[in-house]
Structure formats: structure tokens, C-alpha cells
Structure 1
Amino acid sequence: MKEIASRGHEVTIISPYRPKPAFFNYTTIQTSDVLHSDDGFDLFELDNESLFKNILTTYEYGNLLTEFTLKDKGVQKLLHSNESFDLVIVEQFFTDALKGFATHFNAPLVLFSSVGLTEWNKHYMGNPVLPSTNTIVYTGYTNQMNFFQRIRNLAGTIFDYCYRTWVFYPIQRKYAEKYFPKPVNFDGIINNASLMLLNSHFTTSENVLLPYNMIEIGGFHVTQNRLNNDTQKLLDEATDGAILFSLGTNLKSCDLAPTTLRTILNVFGRLRQRVLWKFEKDLAEKPKNVFISKWLEQADILAHPNVRLFITHGGILSVTEAIFNGVPMVGIPVFVDQKMNMARAKHAGIANVISLKDLTEKFFSMINGTINDPTYSKNVRKMSKLMKDRVVRPLDLAVYWIEYAIRHKGVRFETPVSKMYWFQVYMLDILCFVMFNLLITYLLIKGLCTYLGKENSRVINDNKKKQ
């Protein structure tokens, strides 16, 4: 959105955050309450929950985000104003009622997905869901699943479809009816986007088939900035190398269980490398080689040549930044897409993965093994070159398609799937038709054989009587 504003467009954004520095043509409607929408969730506990519980929790979280956003006073003021817009961009993340902004302002709709192609987004653009190769994000599978993994993936796919259709959509429909001052046809807006921008690239995801209306812009957010003097000095003097550890924005290291925290500190204290740790509170007792900060310039730190390893939760932005800068990873995935991202990274030979409950002596061995095995750094450096070798800068590509939708007042690259029922897509109607006809044919043949058998018996009996 900053890039769009820098090119002369007037931008209004609904967000909990304001940009620094501010732009003269960039207006933020600050929805601070949204930051508290996850107060009732213990995200670390999701690591121990079932596939179905994770699906339910994500939908529940999406409903909270939707209502917190729509009922915000600033948002309601906007909806009751005389503002007009040339385009509406909505993030595709379990907040489908927000697509009503496009209908309300009579503007084309562009969607942005913060992850790549998943069951969260592909059906909106008419891309068929194939449970045999398209893994549910919570499973931690790659697209090369064995028989039992495909069974679990199919079960998750069906459950996700049923819950979305019969429970989630009705709730989102109520939000649209309640908070938009003009009538909104919910069924008409959810699949009415001109385009979807995907935050993915083949180095961060897997080889997938994309229709024209889904454009990959993975890596668009990665920039290179100067480090502050303290961090620069800390890394420059790390003669044995440095390790960056961050659990991202939603997961906070300070919320880790005390036993887990002690184990991590014990492991870090035995390492030769300096460890930079994003830790949100003061930490009194820590090893001398551990340096904490409530906020770290992650992408810029990863670009420093002395950084040997990135210990990460496996969010897509973090994985992208690690690959871009050629840094191998140890992943500690917890929820939503993190397990999928790290499974792909491990399959590509650029990372190792460990769960929170396994943070024992194995953690120390995994860190050293990933750093000292040159295969990981060799593989990730190769992927870094592939990510950087682009026909056009991904941010420029994103802006091109956004301005394309504005110039043409929306455009629809509809696929045949978007106009078909799911049973038509998978040809289940044809299968049922064939099976029905086979059954009818079988019954007719069986009936004919029975009839002929009876006729033959009657003829034989008549002949016996005549004799």
C-alpha cells in the first residue's frame, strides 16, 4: 500500500498500525481493538490440538477479526460517508464479509493472500481443490503424501468445506447484513474478485497450477536497509557466527512455558555462536552469548554475512526472508500455515524441523547439525539465487495488476470451475450416471435371464407332459 501511495494514488487503509513515516496521500483508519481479538486464544496450545480443532479455531478467529473490524467507529464512519474508491483490496483470510466494501463502494475487488495456494483461497478464483496433491495447511504434509496421509488430508478437506459452507458463511452473512448500511448480496461478493495476489514463489511453496486470475508476488516485501549501529557491531564481532531466533509477531517468546524457556536458554548457552533473540520482556538470567530485544530488524539481520542460522516459527514472511538471504533454518512451527511451510523447507533440504515438546537435547544437536552440514547452506543459497532472478520485481508486478484492475474497472478471468457445482467438477454426476446405467443393465440382464430360465423350464415341463 505504501508503494501504491508513492505512485500518486490516494490510499485509505483499515489497519491496526500506522506507517512510519506518514504519507500525505495515505490515510489510516486505525482499528486498534483488532489487536485484542485473539486474547482468548493460547496459540501455543494449538500445536497439541487435532487437525479439526485447528480448522475450527482459525474460522473462529476469522469471525472475531471480521466483527472487530466492521464494528469499529472509524470503519462505520467511512461506511456512512460519501467517499468513493476506484478499487478495493481485501486480504483473503477468513473475513469474507469484508468483501462487502467493494459492493458498498461500487468498486472492483482485488484479493491478497498472505500465503500461497491453499484450501483457504483457491476455490474463490475457480481453482479446483485436489486432496490428492493439495495439502491442508495444518497437516505439515508436502504434496507428496503417502496413502494414510491422503486419507487424513481428504478428511480435513471435506470437514473444511462443510464447516465453511454450513457454519462459517452464515455467520459472515449476518455480519455483512448487520454492519453494512446498504444491502450486500453475500453470495454474490465472495467469489466476485477480479484478481488474487499470492504471497508465494516456487522457492517458498511447491509447483502448482495457477489460473490467470492468481498472480504470485512472493518476496515483494523484502527490502535491504542499514542495521542500527549496535546490531551492526554485534554481528560484525561475531567471529564464530550468529544465530537469529524469532517466533514472529503473533507468537511471543515471553509466553513460552518456563520449562521450555529454561531448556532453550540452556541450549543457547552451550553454543559458540552469538544468539539474537526477539524476546518481548526483560530476561534477567541469560547466557553471555544471548542478546535479546523486543524488536529486531529481521530481514536486515538475515542479510548479514555472519548469520549462520535462523531459528523460526515458520511463518511465510520469515521463510521468504531466510531463502532470499540464503540462510538455513531450524523451524519450530506451531499453528496455521507454519507446519506446511516448514515441511516444504525440510523437503527442499534447507531446514530441519522440531516441535515445541521436543525441545530437549535434540534441539542442541539439530542446531549444530544444520549449521555444520554444508548441504543446507548450499541448497538455500541456490534457492536464494532462484528467488532473486525474476523477470520483474514482484512489488512492481503487484502494482501493475492492481493498476490494471483500476484501468479496466475490474476484469474477470473466469475459469469453468467457477460456474460448476463441486460434483460436476469431479464428474461425480457422470460416475453416478454410469453406475446407475450399469445397475439398470445388470437388472435387465438378470431379469431377462430369469425370464428365459423360467420359459425354458416351462417348455421342458410341457414336453414331458406330452410324452
Structure 2
Amino acid sequence: MALFVIWWPKENSTYFWLLSHLTFKEEKIYRVINWRLPEDQQKEIDKRIQLTVEELVAYGRFKHHTIAKLYETFADLCSHLLSRKDILDSLRNENFDLVLLNSLDLCSLLLVEKLGKQFVVFHPMQSTSMDFRLPRDLSYVPMYGSSLTDQMDFWARVKNFLMFFDFSMMQREIFSKYDGTIQEHFAEGSRPLLSDLLLKAELWFVNSDFAFEFARSLLPNTVYVGGLMDKPNRPIPQDLEDFIIKFRDSGFVLVALGSIATMYQTKELIKEMNSAFAHLPQGVLWACKDAHWPKDVRMAPNVKIMDWLPQTDLLAHPSIRLFVNHGGINSIMEAIQHGVPMVGIPFFGDQVENMVRIEAKKIGVSVQLETLKAETFARTLKEVIEDKRFKSAAMAARAIRRSHPLTPSQRLVGWIDHILQTGGGAHLKPHGFQQPWHVQNLLDVLLFLLGLTQGTLWLLKKMLGLLLRSQGMVRKEKKS
């Protein structure tokens, strides 16, 4: 059986994990098809994406117009791809049985629609960050962007209700950026809606886990596979081991702010963090490039910076005391896997929402980038390291994370195999996906009952009026 994987960007580590694991007990053979625009057009697209990412980092979270601008660029890129008849014909000639795509690449949905193939979706973020028709229990499921937990008072529920409309508007605005692409590449009468294409997925794999996520209702075709990148621990390089040993029982702190965030670390941020680390008895291993280190900032004696660190292996080390990260979902999953408390410095996107969940689970603390100062940051680091409740909560999350009967990779591969063997996932999708929105939300029933109630009240009013008039006429006749 053959699987076609559509992924953007192809350099994503999850992409290569999927290629190496989705083999269904056969020989691990895969072929990578690279597609790029002509050099001048590609440079223009790359520049637009770069400017938008910088804008996202500057804002600290996804703003409607900024994320819509990013997807406008993706839609232009998509139009170029769908114009490539040679690529489409080549894919049609491939004998694959199923397509696996990344939910953030909406062009994949249009490409699969062109190919007429069944597909499953991998969603790299938490389940609330895209509407694919999971039950909306707004009284305890916080909307994406609300920064709420599952424990809401009255005003929090009001905010969550309003955020539902805000989120819906944002998703519609993003989808609308592909209207021109759809009109250009699909014939009138057969032009799809992106919101409908989402519902055609046989399965949704969500990169999350209930050790991290708030409990919520899921549909049978939704599978949590957070922790796909788990791998056996390896010994760390000797130079890192020598550094850690110097701090004996105090242990060490791992600092890794992600590839994108690291690019936008300011001199002021590095200075404040370095000053805070100097107050710790622990050693600090920091993923920070020499080229980014300010020349006029003297590195703290307990700090060691490196361009790259073996993050997973260091998180498994018995001497680790704390993980300072950017709130990225994969970093969080790795920390939970090894029971390590966290301090998060979210830069943008889902990182803010991820840290809300970490704080709610008492696994760590979030620090706002705009207000990070050495003195308060050092105090926060010491609090999370020294307060045993954080370590206890991290170990409890670790137990939940590890207690699944199947690993995330076994769940993902097993479910894909199930879809291939049964010819699709129709038996996993509710009939509600085929109902109009007013039927699914029982608005027709409510209107009927409202009309029936009003009609009954009107009829009772009329009958009462007739009765009162007849009684009045009887009294007049008696008087006369």
C-alpha cells in the first residue's frame, strides 16, 4: 500500500519522521518530490513570508490581518502549483492509496480535491486552533486566542462566547484568501468550499495529548498523537556531560527558544536572561548562536551557549532541573515525556495558548516577553526549580503521557492502516457533517417550537377574548 505525504515546509522534522515511519511493515522506501517557483518568483514569495513572520513576532500572537496576509501569500503560491499540469499529471499517475496532509497548508486540500483521493490530516497544533467540527462546549472548552482555561466563571464564559464569533470570522477571512485560486482552477459548478473539504478528511491526527490539553469531547475520527517525535534516549556528548558534572547536585537548566524565536532574540533580551541565569546555582545550557551574542555582554560563568543542543537527550538527563522554552507544542510534549518543569517565554502564535495550559496544569510558569527583566525572571526560575509542586505536577503529566497502551506513532500508523483496510472512515464521521448548519444546530426545530408556542398563545388569547365577550353579552341580557 502506498501513501502520498504533502508537507510544507519539507524541512519540518515531523515530515521526515512520517516518511521514515509510515511503511506498514514493508521496506522503508520513499521518494521526495521537491517543487519550487522560478528563482525570481521564489525570492519574492520568501521575502513576503519573512516580512509577515517578523510582523507576527512583533505582535506576539496571531492578529487577523497579519495571519490573513500570510495566507494570501500561500494562496498565490498555491495558484502557481495548481497551474503546473506536469506535476498534477505525475501525481495522478502515481499508484497511491491515501494522502496525508498538513492542516496548515490549505492548498493541500485543493490539490487532493483535484486528484480525487481520500486523505487524512495531521494538525500540528492543539485542537482548538482550527474548526473541523469538534463539539463546541463553550462553557468549558476555551476558544483559541481567548487565553482561558477550562474553569470559567460567568464573565469568562461571556468572553469565550464572543471569542467563538471572533475565531469564526478569522477562519472565514483566511479561507477567503483562496477564493481567487479556487475560481481560477475549478470549473463553475464544481468549486469547493475549504470548510467543506476539511470535513472530507477520513481522520484528523492532532498533535496534542490530554497530559497537556484540557479534557473535551472528541469525534471517533479524531486521534490525539502528541509526542510523535519521541525517540530512545542517547548518551549526551562528553563536553556537555563535563559541564553538567561541575554543578554536582544543583543540576542544570536547559534553554531552547525554538529556531524562529532564536532568530529574533534582541540584545536586550539576551542581556536580561544572561543576568538572571547568573543568579542560579545551576549550570545553564543555552541554544544560542555565537553570532547572536552581543559583543558587550559578558557571559555568566554558569552559562554555556551552543548553536545546537541534543534537546531530547538533555531532557532525559537525571540532573535536569528546568526547561526554559518558547511554548512550542513539540518542546512541551518532549518536556512532559520526561517530567521536566517549564518556564515559557512565548513569542507568537499558539505558544501563548500552550503556556496557558501549562500554567493551568501547574507544570510551569509563563513569562511575558515584553516584561522580562533579570530580577523578576531569576525569581521565577528559582520558584519553579525549588517549589516541589511543579516537579510533582510534571511527573504526574509524565505518568499520563506514558500510560497509553500504544505509542503516538503506533496510534497514527495503526489508524491509517485501519482506514486503508476498511476503504475509508465514513463509519467514524457523524451524519451531522452532511447536515446544513441550521439543521445541525436545531434552529429549524427551535423555530418550529417557537412558532407553535406563539400560535398556541395566540389561539388561547383569541379563545379567551371570545369567552369574555360572550360572558359580557350574557350579563347584558340578564340586566335587560
Correspondence 1:100 to 2:110 = yes
SS in structure 1 of the partner of residue 32 of structure 2? strand
Q: Which residue of 2 aligns with 1:39?
A: 51
Q: Which residue of 2 aligns with 1:441?
A: 456
Q: Which amino acid aligns with 1:330?
A: V
SS in structure 2 of the partner of residue 244 of structure 1? strand
Q: Which of 78, 81, 88 lines up with 2:99 in the alignment?
A: 88
Q: Which amino acid aligns with 2:432?
A: V
Render the CA deviation track for 1:357-416: whole Å, top value 9, x for unaligned.
Answer: 331332221110000011111221232133122212221221122233334443322213
Which range moves more in the overlay, 102-111 or 219-228?
219-228
Answer whether contact 2:97 2:117 (CA < 8 A) is retained.
Answer: yes
Q: Which residue of 1 aligns with 2:177?
A: 171
Q: Which amino acid aligns with 1:88?
A: V
Inter-CA distance 183–443: structure 2 relative to 1 (3 Å threshold): closer
Answer whether contact 1:58 1:336 (CA < 8 A) is retained.
Answer: no
Inter-CA distance 454–132: structure 2 relative to 1 (3 Å threshold): same
Render the CA deviation track for 1:316-354: whole Å, top value 9, x for unaligned.
Answer: 111101000111001222433222222222222211122
Distance 1:241 1:455 in 2: 94
Distance 1:303 1:172 in 2: 44
Once the two structures are TM-superposed, the CA of residue 251 in structure 1 deviates from its matched residue by 2.2
Render the CA deviation track for 1:134-165: whole Å, top value 9, x for unaligned.
Answer: 21222222222221111111111122224434
Q: Which of 273, 276, 281 lines up with 1:272 in the alignment?
A: 281
SS in structure 1 of the partner of residue 63 of structure 2? helix
Which range moves more in the overlay, 351-360 or 62-71?
62-71
Q: Which residue of 1 aligns with 2:319?
A: 306
SS in structure 1 of the partner of residue 322 of structure 2? strand
Q: Which residue of 1 aligns with 2:145?
A: 138
- Which ranges in structure 1 are unaligned for 5 or more consecutive residues? 1-7
Q: Which amino acid aligns with 1:307?
A: I
Q: Which of 351, 356, 359 lines up with 2:372 in the alignment?
A: 359
Q: Which residue of 1 aligns with 2:405?
A: 391
Once the two structures are TM-superposed, the CA of residue 121 in structure 1 deviates from its matched residue by 4.2
Render the CA deviation track for 1:13-66: whole Å, top value 9, x for unaligned.
Answer: 54444559998623141559576524224233333x7xxx73454344344334
Distance 1:60 1:150 in 2: 30
Once the two structures are TM-superposed, the CA of residue 310 in structure 1 deviates from its matched residue by 0.8
Q: Which of 422, 431, 437 lines up with 1:416 in the alignment?
A: 431
Which range moves more in the overlay, 18-27 or 207-216?
18-27
Correspondence 1:212 to 2:217 = no
Distance 2:183 2:243 in 1: 54
Render the CA deviation track for 1:263-318: whole Å, top value 9, x for unaligned.
Answer: 22221222222222223433132322222233332222211222211112211111
Q: Which residue of 1 aligns with 2:192?
A: 186
Distance 1:72 1:292 in 2: 41
Answer whether contact 1:12 1:27 (CA < 8 A) is retained.
Answer: no
Answer whether contact 1:330 1:367 (CA < 8 A) is retained.
Answer: yes
Answer whether contact 1:90 1:112 (CA < 8 A) is retained.
Answer: yes
Correspondence 1:29 to 2:46 = no
Which range moves more in the overlay, 355-364 or 257-266?
257-266
Distance 1:408 1:101 in 2: 24
SS in structure 1 of the partner of residue 240 of structure 2? helix
SS in structure 1 of the partner of residue 199 of structure 2? coil
TM normalised by structure 2 equals 0.83
Q: Which residue of 1 aligns with 2:25?
A: none
Correspondence 1:317 to 2:330 = yes
Q: Which residue of 2 aligns with 1:338?
A: 351
Q: Which residue of 2 aligns with 1:155?
A: 162
Distance 1:452 1:219 in 2: 73
Which range moves more in the overlay, 436-445 or 175-184?
175-184
Q: Which residue of 2 aligns with 1:3?
A: none
Indicate the RMSD between aligned Cα atoms, in angstroms.
3.2
Distance 2:216 2:321 in 1: 31
SS in structure 1 of the partner of residue 201 of structure 2? coil
Inter-CA distance 105–128: structure 2 relative to 1 (3 Å threshold): same
Distance 1:92 1:131 in 2: 23
Distance 2:243 2:316 in 1: 14
TM normalised by structure 1 equals 0.85
Distance 1:45 1:290 in 2: 27
Answer whether contact 1:89 1:109 (CA < 8 A) is retained.
Answer: yes
Which range moves more in the overlay, 370-379 or 222-231?
222-231
How many residue pairs get matched? 448
Distance 1:318 1:182 in 2: 45
Inter-CA distance 67–272: structure 2 relative to 1 (3 Å threshold): farther
- Which ranges in structure 2 are unaligned for 5 or more consecutive residues? 21-27
The percentage of counterpart residues that share the same residue type is 23
Render the CA deviation track for 1:102-135: whole Å, top value 9, x for unaligned.
Answer: 2333321111111232250431xxx322222221
Answer whether contact 2:135 2:218 (CA < 8 A) is retained.
Answer: no
